[in-house]
Structure 1
Amino acid sequence: MRAAVPGFSALLIQAAAAQEAPSEPIELDPIVVQSTRLEAARASIAPSLGASVTRIDRDTIERLPQGAAASLNQVLLQAPGVVQEAQGDLHVRGDHRNLQYRINGVTIPEAISGFGQLFDARGISSVSLITGALPAQFGYRTAGIVDITLRSGITDPGGSASLYGGSFGNFQSSLAYGGAVGPFEYYVTGSYLRSDRGFENPTSSPSSIHNTTEQFRGLVNMSYLLDDRTRVAFIGATNQSRFERPNVPGQPSLYTVYGQDFYDSAALRARQWQRASFGVLALQHSRETLDVQLSAFLRQTSISYVPDALGELILSGTAAEVRKTNYSAGLQGDASWRFADRHTLRTGFFASYDLTRNISNSTVLPLNAAGMAYDAPFTIQERNRLHGQLYGLYVQDEWRPTDEVTVNFGGRFDAMSQQVNATQLSPRVNVVWRPGENTTIAAGYARYFTPPPSELLTAPALPLYANTTLAPEVPIASAPRPERAHYFNLGIRQKIGEGLTLGAEAFYRDVRDMQDLGQFGSAYIFSPYNYRQGRVFGTELTANYRQGPWLLYGNLTISRSEGRGLVSNQYFWSAAELAQVERKFVRTDHDQLLTGSAGASYQPWDGGTVSSTLLYGSGMRRGFANSQVVTPYVTVNLGLSQEFEIAGGGKWTARLDVINLFDRSYQLRDGTGIGVGAPQYGMRRGIFAGLSRAL
């Protein structure tokens, strides 16, 4: 892992050993040279100057437990300030989701079910998590930028075929291959996953009831050199997943439906389908002082939840079939112009259009005058279409007044048209000072504008549910608002000796209309809401050592996230919770005081790797108005891998991984707190093995 500087870097600096120059010059294919030069030019368009960057390269991914079989979110958990959430979601620096995903420099809107599960690590060359005071180029999703560089047929020719599986009925098969034919290069991956652990287990048992999943992922990355300065590229990916909703045995039957007053909660048969696909077409041109990329994207994502109607009615009084689909299309342009020795001007635009379709068929029971349900179920149907547009422009100048100081300053203007219309002009500035060769100090300020996620918006017709078992206690559904924040960041990085790097960073975010997400109802779908006022602050401490066969790192984040006054989608809460949050600041449901991660990797012999990772969490919030804390947890993972060759049979890699080595039973959620839908436990001990062959 390494931090991508020139600016401030938070974690995991790759200290690659310098190699002796060859005694004879090497002839390189000119197509390879041009492709590599264009990759470097594209990276220069979107700098992270002054922000905190954690870069995880291909070698480090392969050395982690599970290696290429890990999902993108599992890889990102090794970065500082990243808190694991149920359903593969992430919290970064006290924010829920709110991550912007960029693939080869192109912004891709997040999927309804989150974006990290769309990718496993097989097609990724490197991934960087960029946090802190972001330069003006980055807008809308500001908790962090997940900047993904895909493997290409020129830099990663060949491929692999692999089988991987083990505990919880887990079985994965995958195929990846890349190459180049003249000016055309390609890299393609495909994988299939079957597991008995689709969602987090709602009980502490090692196994869960009715929780199988099947998932297919596919990815293609292609490009064609039009000339030595221009190329056109296409990226496409898809994830098609089916889930069973896990059950909690022993739940009480509360209602009588069609004369039946008991249903075994272990026998429920609810299901959920999640689908996401996108395509990107990009044109890049590079000259001596000018680099330009113009891109267009399309993305479709959907969730369908089919309840066990009779069982859910008897157990909870409601059963809702939910279908949500979002279509997104957009254009993005970015340019970098080095117009003077000490100045680089960057500018660009972004425009997108979203269409969200919501369908719900909610079967409910009517209430009599005394508020008691009676056995006459009926279905309430809702259909709505929501449109959203985002427009943004930015300009910034990277100025080096001295050799030791760099100033990146500029701003962006954003406009949104959704259920609420809004605009904002957002100044940004970062200053990086290098008083010595091994020391970097950075300070930054950013004004942020965060629109509600279009793919998650709804427009409920609350009067339809009056006098039913689904009637809200507070019948108010104000539309979600854009979040507006002032963000301050200060950090220092110190390199000690050849392999050790230490870092410390402090951040503070003052927020108006702070956004959060919660799960309300049986379907695993998040809904946005706003606190009128919010504040988030904390400190990150990082250490990284890389020397010879060793890779060691450790991170500790201390943070606090709190909000006051709920001003949108109030029907999610009780009147008592609304009153409590109006009176005082309360912790957000995803607030976690202490978050830690650590890892070690050692290569004791040729082709062999022993690795271990650790995650620590002091616990997210639970209870009335998030007033209590879930029990702290520590998990340790272990990985072993060995490369070997078989005469006439090619190069192979075998691996053995143990997840949650000490079989700790721990909760991520206990089913209480604002926006928490159900109890969710982390994975118990699992043993997995795999075998792959290089192609």
Structure 2
Amino acid sequence: MRRHIAVSVTLGSLLLSSSPAFSQTAPADDTAIDLDVTARRLDQARGSIQPSLGATVYDFSRPFIENVPLGENAPLNQVLLRAPSVVQDGFGQIHVRGDHSNLQYRLDGVQLPDGLSRFSQFLMTRSINQISLLTGALPAQYGLRTAGVVDISVKSGSTDPGADLSVTGGSRNYAQPAGSYGGRSGKVDYFVTGQFLHNGLGIENPTASFSPIHDDTDQWMALGKVTGLIDESTRVSFIAGGMNAAFQIPNVPWQIPHYNVFGHSDWNSGILDQRQWEKTYFGIASLQKSYENLDFQLSGFARYSALYYQPDAIGDLLYNGIAPWTNRKSFAFGIQGDGSWKVAKDHTLRGGFLVQRERSTAFTAGNVLPLVANPDDPDAEPEPSEQPIGYNDGFDVTGWTYSVYLQDEWRIVPSVTLNFGLRFDAISGVTSAYQFSPRVNLVWQPAPTFTFRAGYSRYFTPPPLTQISASSLAILANTAVAPETLQNDPVRAERADFFDVGVSVKPLRGLTLGLSAYYKISQNLLDNGQFGAPIIISAFNYANGIVKGVEFNASYDDGPWNLYFNGAFSDNIATNINSAQFNFGPDELTYIANNWITTDHNQGWTFSTGAAYTFNAGRDWATRVSADVLFGSGLRTSIITPNDTSLPNYAVVNASIVQNIPIGLGRGTQLRFDAINLFDNIYQLRDGEGVGVGAPLFGQRQTFLLTLRQKF
């Protein structure tokens, strides 16, 4: 039994997509209908292999996505921000239920390995047929990255036949052409989509100015999916995609250099030219089979990711004391299998495994300012030289991940279901660790309008494969960037006990209310920080951490009106940094070793709310008007002690108008206007202070965009 404890509002069961001008229904003969029935049956079977029983699930319908600014052309993280307990951070990051990242992405049930992307989104919203965010006490099939599971069903030629073209332009040199095409030939279904993006908002502005300096980005993304039916119970599918993005690193003008280089002690920081490139390519091949009471899917996957950082040759030395030309690469591949067997009337047994190999490499050829003694005062502290020296650094490390799980869904009585299982995860690489993780979920549904659930999950979260080695620290000894602390214990796997309870009610037609509470106790709580150049993102552990929070959600979907409201409070505290200590100063380490602090990525209060109304719903001239508000009480910053206060709260209002235009061309024409940050609220996501915080970052200022969309 699959139950959505908390469901995001379905913004219009028909909306614009139901109008004759924008119909997606393709003519079908009897053979096509048989293929449709078979495909739907296999989709349902795949869903039964990996149910979300007992987890907290937030569904984003396609009409809901269309009400997010830019609709399906929006970045995926902007869609996810419309769920409870999802917090906005800089560089496109989001945090779910108090975790720094710890997100898992699945395409058609297959888990994708983590990549190296720092600023870019490697998955397109426009490729998504259905999307859900799973969180809470997850069943045993979900492991490794467990703060949130972004479960994506990819579009196909059956769900989206024909061509769909659009072009977006507007403020900040925004240009985004995009398109997709889907269809079917016999038993083969195919779908391809892609987009290009250029604008002057590649990375968050480090200043409060209306337009950032040196912040252009060029990005392209593509995805293709081919599915073939072997027979009525067997299907093979192939998914491949990629992303290639280039970023300018934005500048803060009128900054005073910290060092002298080649006799220069002044520089216009507004003309610094730092750049970063990111690439990600992935592929998935799956075989799905259904036989009587047995369903399984066997998949192979691969992911290549690369990241390149180019400093300003002189400017980085003047301001940072180091100029690293760095590239990092990672290649991961593996196999995943999941199966479901209905062994008895009230018992469904599920099991699966995952094996993954990842090789990560890095090479840096840079310049750094060495420390030299003062010949006039031999007893004085060494000072940075004006003459840089070259250095080389790198690593090559291989890691393995092994996972296996088994669980039983037991329907004790018609209204009560118990799902219990055991999961085993092991890693080997820079660090080696393993854990057996019990999971149990109880769901009580005495009526279709009421559901109660409670669950416990033991979690095991491995650290990133790449870590800074002792040899890398030794290379930078006696330089301007030598760390104050040389201690560098290896980053460990996080182990946690997670408790979750929730209730969902549907008191009226179209109205859904949900309430959830969670409590997490962690050992070796994983966190990430930005240290050094923008490329350097390092993981570290707190010895102990406690994460707790509550969530409320409400949605109303009836007729032309569609409304939603999400509210959440979280508290995330931790103590004693016990790995990668070189990133921190001695005073900071001493304080955190003896005190509990709030983690830097914690935001106390988070709200999102929106409304949409469709005029002339179901008609050729349908018009949809929507608006939403995102509110945050602010991430943490340091004034006296680490992370001792929050940044000011903020609220961002967005609005959209979508108009169908029945001009008789193809299957429909649509004009869309979006206003992001309608009232031009100036708000700060980061101020450059706090544990692991590297730079000040401001949210996007007022932006107006116009989209023309045509279907054929």
Please classify the TM superposition score into its range, dividing by the shorter chain length: over 0.9
Q: What residue in structure 2 maps to residue 128 of structure 1? A: 132
- Give, in angstroms, the shift of residue 371 of structure 1: 3.2
**1:10 aligns to 2:2 (yes or no):** no
What CA distance in whole angstroms lies between the structure 1 residues aligned with 2:317 and 2:490? 29
- Give, in angstroms, the shift of residue 437 of structure 1: 2.9
Q: What residue in structure 2 maps to residue 290 of structure 1? A: 294
CA displacement 1:601-632 (0-9 Å, x = unmatched): 11122321111111111000111421121111
What CA distance in whole angstroms lies between the structure 2 residues aligned with 1:580 and 1:371? 28
Worse overlay, 497-506 or 624-633: 624-633
Letter in 2 for 1:372: E
Q: Runs of 5+ in structure 1 lacking a partner?
A: 20-25
Which structure would you say has the larger RCO, counting Cα contacts within 8 Å and 6 or more residues apart?
2
Report the identity percentage. Answer: 43
Q: Give secondary structure in 2 for the equivalent of 1:41.
A: helix
2:206·2:698 contact (CA, 8 Å) conserved in 1? yes
- Give, in angstroms, the shift of residue 459 of structure 1: 6.3
2:365·2:392 contact (CA, 8 Å) conserved in 1? yes
What CA distance in whole angstroms lies between the structure 2 residues aligned with 1:216 and 1:671? 30
Letter in 2 for 1:495: K
What CA distance in whole angstroms lies between the structure 1 residues aligned with 2:665 and 2:708? 17
**1:553 aligns to 2:564 (yes or no):** yes
Worse overlay, 244-253 or 432-441: 432-441
Match of residue 182, structure 1, among 162, 186, 211: 186
Q: What residue in structure 2 maps to residue 47 of structure 1? A: 51
Q: What residue in structure 2 maps to residue 418 of structure 1? A: 429
1:323·1:360 contact (CA, 8 Å) conserved in 2? yes
1:111·1:455 contact (CA, 8 Å) conserved in 2? no
Letter in 1 for 2:632: G
**1:213 aligns to 2:217 (yes or no):** yes
Match of residue 341, structure 1, among 340, 345, 356: 345
**1:626 aligns to 2:643 (yes or no):** yes
2:467·2:491 contact (CA, 8 Å) conserved in 1? no
Output aligned runs, 1:473-488, within 5 Å. 473-488=484-499
Letter in 2 for 1:192: F
What CA distance in whole angstroms lies between the structure 1 residues aligned with 2:591 and 2:661? 62
1:638·1:661 contact (CA, 8 Å) conserved in 2? yes
Worse overlay, 503-512 or 28-37: 28-37
Cα 1:17–1:299, aligned 2, differ >3 Å: closer, same or farther? Answer: closer
Cα 1:115–1:679, aligned 2, differ >3 Å: closer, same or farther? Answer: closer
1:12·1:545 contact (CA, 8 Å) conserved in 2? no
Q: Give secondary structure in 1 for the equivalent of 2:126.
A: helix
Q: Give secondary structure in 1 for the equivalent of 2:116.
A: coil
What CA distance in whole angstroms lies between the structure 2 residues aligned with 1:361 and 1:444? 50
Q: Give secondary structure in 2 for the equivalent of 1:79.
A: coil
Q: TM-score, normalised by structure 2?
A: 0.94
Cα 1:320–1:115, aligned 2, differ >3 Å: closer, same or farther? Answer: closer
Output aligned runs, 1:50-449, within 5 Å. 50-113=54-117, 117-369=121-373, 370-449=381-460
Across the aligned residues of Structure 1 and Structure 2, the Cα RMSD in angstroms comes to 1.8
CA displacement 1:302-327 (0-9 Å, x = unmatched): 11000002011112222222211111
1:72·1:116 contact (CA, 8 Å) conserved in 2? no
What CA distance in whole angstroms lies between the structure 1 residues aligned with 2:467 and 2:580? 12
Cα 1:199–1:116, aligned 2, differ >3 Å: closer, same or farther? Answer: closer
- Give, in angstroms, the shift of residue 435 of structure 1: 2.6
Letter in 1 for 2:628: T
Letter in 2 for 1:640: I
Match of residue 666, structure 1, among 669, 683, 690: 683
CA displacement 1:155-210 (0-9 Å, x = unmatched): 22113111002111110001101000000001100100001110000000110111
Worse overlay, 659-668 or 643-652: 643-652
- Give, in angstroms, the shift of residue 363 of structure 1: 1.7
1:255·1:313 contact (CA, 8 Å) conserved in 2? yes
- Give, in angstroms, the shift of residue 650 of structure 1: 4.6
What CA distance in whole angstroms lies between the structure 1 residues aligned with 2:466 and 2:395? 13
Q: What residue in structure 1 maps to residue 629 of structure 2? A: 614
1:358·1:458 contact (CA, 8 Å) conserved in 2? no
Letter in 2 for 1:661: L
Q: What residue in structure 2 maps to residue 652 of structure 1? A: 669
Query: For this pair of structures, how many residues does the alignment match?
Result: 686
CA displacement 1:405-453 (0-9 Å, x = unmatched): 0110001011110211111000000000113331111000000000012
Q: Give secondary structure in 1 for the equivalent of 2:372.
A: coil
Output aligned runs, 1:579-594, within 5 Å. 579-594=590-605
What CA distance in whole angstroms lies between the structure 2 residues aligned with 1:303 and 1:459? 22
Q: Give secondary structure in 2 for the equivalent of 1:564.
A: strand
Match of residue 658, structure 2, among 641, 655, 667: 641
What CA distance in whole angstroms lies between the structure 2 residues aligned with 1:580 and 1:453? 26
- Give, in angstroms, the shift of residue 16 of structure 1: 8.5
What CA distance in whole angstroms lies between the structure 1 residues aligned with 2:90 and 2:353? 34
- Give, in angstroms, the shift of residue 527 of structure 1: 1.5
- Give, in angstroms, the shift of residue 520 of structure 1: 0.9
Q: Runs of 5+ in structure 2 lacking a partner?
A: 19-28, 374-380
